A and B are shown apart, each in its own frame.
Chain A
Amino acid sequence: MSSLRGKRILVVEDEFFIATTTCAMLEELGARVVGPALAVSEALELAESQEIDLALLDINLHGQSSLGIADMLADRGIPVVFATGYSHGQDRDSAGRYMLAKPFTQDKLAALLTRALTESNRANAHAG
Chain B
Amino acid sequence: MRDDVQGQASDVPMGSGTSSKEMSRDDVGTSGRSRQASNDDLLNLLRCTEIAAIFLDESGAVRNFTPAATRLYNLLESDIGRPLTHIAHNLVAMPLLPSARELAFADGPLETEVSDERRTFLRRVTPYRTVDGTSKGAIVTFIDITERKLVERRLATKDAVTRALAESAALEVAAPAILEAICDHWNWQAGILWLANETPPEFRCLQVHCAPKSRAPTLAAWCGTTTLSAGDDLVNAVWKTGEPAWVSNLETWLSERPGKLSSVSNDSGGRQTGPEAIAVHDGLRSVFAFPIVLGSRRLGVFEFFADRERPTEPMLFKMSSSIGSQVGQFIERRNAERALQRSHDTFLNLIQNAPFGILLVDASLTVTRASAGAERLFSGGRPLVGRRLDDLLRSVWCEPFAEELNREFRNTLRSGDRFHRSCVKQRRADTGRDEAYDWQLERIAMPDGNLGVVCYFYDMTEYLRTQEALRESEQRYRAVVESQTEMVCRFRTEGTILFANEAYARAIGKRAADLVDLDFWTIIAPEDRPHVEDLLRRLSPTNPEVRIENRVLTTDGVRWFLWTNRGLEFDEQGRCIEAQSTGIDITDRKAAESQRQLLIDELNHRVKNTLAVVQGIAQQTFTRDASPIEARNAFYGRLAALGAAHGLLSQQNWERVDLNNLVRNAIEASGAAKDRVTVNGTSVLLARRHALAIALSLHELTTNALKHGALSNNAGKLQVSWSVDNHPEPTLHFDWRECDGPAVQPPTRRGFGLLMIERALASEPGCRARVDFGPAVFSVRSSYCCIRRAPGAHRELAPRQTNSRRRR
Asked if A and B bind, the verdict is yes
Task: Please measure, in the bound complex, the distance between the C-alpha atom of A19 and the C-alpha atom of B755, giving whole angstroms.
Answer: 12
Name which of B164-172, B389-397, B544-552, B599-607 contacts chain A: B599-607
Residues of A close to B616: CB separation below 8 A: 15-21
B620 at the interface (CB under 8 A from A): yes
B605 touches A85 (CB 8 A): yes
- Whether B604 and A86, one on each chain, are in contact in the complex, defined by CB atoms closer than 8 angstroms, is yes
Contact across chains for B612 and A102 when beta carbons are under 8 A apart: yes
B676 vs chain A, min Cβ distance (A): 30
Chain A CB within 8 A of B591 CB: no
Interface residues of A in 70-128 (CB under 8 A from B): 84-87, 101-104
A85 touching B613 in the complex, CB below 8 Å, given contacts A14-B689, A37-B765, A38-B765: no
Chain B residues lying within 8 Å of A17, measured Cβ to Cβ, are 612-613, 615-617, 620
A46 to chain B, nearest CB (A): 10
Which of B608, B620, B689, B764 is the one whose CB lies under 8 Å from A102?
B608
Residue A51 CB within 8 A of the other chain: no
A-chain residues with CB within 8 Å of residue B615 when the two chains form the complex: 17-18, 21, 103
**Interchain CB contact (< 8 A) of A24 among B605, B617, B619, B764:** B619
Residues of B near A21 (CB, < 8 A) are: 612, 615-616, 619-620
Q: Is A42 an interface residue (CB 8 A)?
A: yes
In the complex, whether B484 has a CB less than 8 A from a CB of chain A is no
How many Å lie between the Cα of A62 and that of B22 in the bound state?
Answer: 177
Residues of chain A within 8 A of B759, CB atoms compared: 16, 20
Residues of A within 8 A of B764 (CB): 38-39
Residues of B within 8 A of A60 (CB): 605
A85 touches B765 (CB 8 A): no
- Write out the residue numbers on chain A whose beta carbons fall within 8 Å of the beta carbon of B765: 37-39, 41-42
A65 to B765, CA, bound (A): 17
Contacts of B605 in A (CB 8 A): 60, 84-86
Q: Find out whether the CB atom of A103 lies under 8 angstroms from the CB atom of B608.
A: yes
For A38, the closest partner residue in chain B by CB is B763
> How far is it, in angstroms, between the C-alpha of A20 and the C-alpha of B803 when the chains are bound?
23
Give the residues in chain A near B609, CB-CB below 8 Å. Answer: 15, 18, 85, 102
Known: A101-B608, A102-B611, A103-B611. A16 touches B760 (CB 8 A): yes
Query: Which residue on A lies nearest to B613, using beta carbons?
Result: A17
Question: Contacts A14-B689, A16-B759, A39-B765 known; A103 to B612 CB distance under 8 Å?
Answer: yes
Q: Is the CB of B612 within 8 A of A15?
A: yes
Residues of A within 8 A of B763 (CB): 14, 16, 38
Among A15, A38, A41, A87, the most chain B Cβ lie within 10 Å of the Cβ of A15
Q: Which residues of B contact A102 (CB under 8 A)?
A: 608-609, 611-612
A residues near B601, Cβ cutoff 8 Å = 86
Residues of chain A lying within 8 A (CB to CB) of residue B619: 20-21, 24
Instruction: Among A37, A41, A42, A85, point to the contact of B612 (Cβ < 8 A).
Output: A85
CA distance A127 to B617 in the complex (A): 43
Asked if B140 is at the interface (CB within 8 A of a chain A CB), the reply is no
CA distance A85 to B74 in the complex (A): 148
Q: How far is the CB of A37 from chain B (nearest CB, A)?
A: 7
Nearest CB of chain A from residue B696's CB, rounded to whole Å:
8
- Which residues of chain B are within 8 angstroms of A62 by Cβ–Cβ distance? 689
Q: Could you tell me the distance in whole angstroms from the C-beta of A43 to the nearest C-beta in chain B?
A: 9
Is the CB of B84 closer than 8 A to any CB of chain A?
no
Given contacts A21-B616, A41-B765, A42-B765, contact A16 B611 (CB under 8 A): no
CA A60 to CA B606, docked complex, whole Å:
11
A103 CB contacts on chain B under 8 angstroms: 608, 611-612, 614-615
B613: chain A residues at CB < 8 Å are 15, 17-18
Which residues of chain B have a CB within 8 Å of any CB of chain A?
Answer: 601, 604-609, 611-617, 619-620, 689, 693, 755-756, 759-760, 763-765
Name 25 interchain pairs, CB-CB below 8 A, sorted by A: A14-B689, A16-B616, A16-B760, A16-B763, A18-B609, A18-B616, A19-B616, A20-B616, A20-B755, A20-B759, A21-B615, A21-B616, A21-B619, A21-B620, A38-B764, A60-B605, A84-B605, A85-B605, A85-B608, A86-B601, A102-B608, A102-B612, A103-B611, A103-B612, A103-B614
Task: Name 5 extra pairs, CB < 8 A, besides A20-B620, A86-B604, A103-B614.
Answer: A14-B763, A21-B619, A85-B604, A85-B609, A103-B608
